[in-house]
């Protein structure tokens, strides 16, 4: 069963000469590209993993959503090791915004791990942007998803940083989630 959040073609025209089928498929791909990103129906959030990843129910199917444009502090993968500062607070804040609520998702395709990259909305409010404004996620430092405008997120981060909100209260002790992940991977490989 395919998730409605995916924007793929499930079939091609049958019974048409190949040259027409190719033209039709090319036109369909062109118009689908214009439509993406697109708003989907409402989905119920059934799980919050951390400050930037949730699971929604889509027609009975679980779909993992990575909140596009943001990067939240990393939680620990082990009970015996601490996570990044503000990781728990970030996850709890996101849960307060979306858990067991109906959300709309504006999809920007799929990420590296097969998760849907999306902007999540609750009652018209951009949850991704709210996480950055609250100082519980930074603007994503990697290459932005196709069609995604990172500028509002960078501006919100600059404002939160200036006001020392949330994780920005750490000042010089703050470590980007991207740097944190890299150091953890390096440390794991070093000890292997």
Active site residues: 66, 74, 115
Other residues' Cβ atoms within 10 Å of the Cβ of residue 60 = 6
Positive or negative CA dihedral for 28, 30, 36, 39?
Answer: negative
Q: Residue 176 and residue 10: Cα distance in Å, rounded? A: 40
Q: Which residues have CB under 8 Å from 176's CB, separation 6+?
A: 71, 138, 141
- Bridge partners of 87, per DSSP, are none
CA–chain centroid gap for 155, Å, is 18
Cβ–Cβ < 8 Å for 98, 48:
yes
Other residues' Cβ atoms within 10 Å of the Cβ of residue 146 = 11
């Amino acid at each position: 069963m395919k998730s409605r959040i995916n924007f793929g073609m499930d079939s091609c025209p049958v019974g048409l000469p190949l040259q027409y089928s190719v033209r039709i498929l090319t036109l369909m791909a062109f118009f689908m590209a214009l439509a993406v990103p697109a708003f989907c129906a409402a989905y119920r959030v059934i799980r919050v993993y951390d400050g930037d990843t949730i699971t929604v129910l889509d027609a009975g199917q679980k779909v993992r959503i990575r909140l596009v444009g943001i990067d939240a502090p990393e939680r620990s993968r082990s009970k015996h090791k601490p996570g990044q500062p503000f990781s728990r607070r970030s996850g709890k804040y996101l849960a307060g915004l979306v858990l067991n609520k109906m959300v709309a998702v504006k999809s920007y395709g799929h990420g590296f791990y097969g998760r849907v990259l999306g902007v999540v909305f609750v009652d018209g409010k951009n949850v991704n942007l709210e996480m950055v404004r609250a100082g519980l996620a930074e603007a994503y430092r990697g290459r932005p998803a196709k069609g995604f405008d990172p500028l509002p997120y960078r501006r919100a981060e600059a404002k939160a940083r200036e006001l020392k909100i949330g994780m920005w209260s750490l000042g010089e002790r703050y470590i980007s989630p991207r740097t944190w992940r890299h150091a953890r991977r390096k440390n794991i490989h070093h000890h292997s």
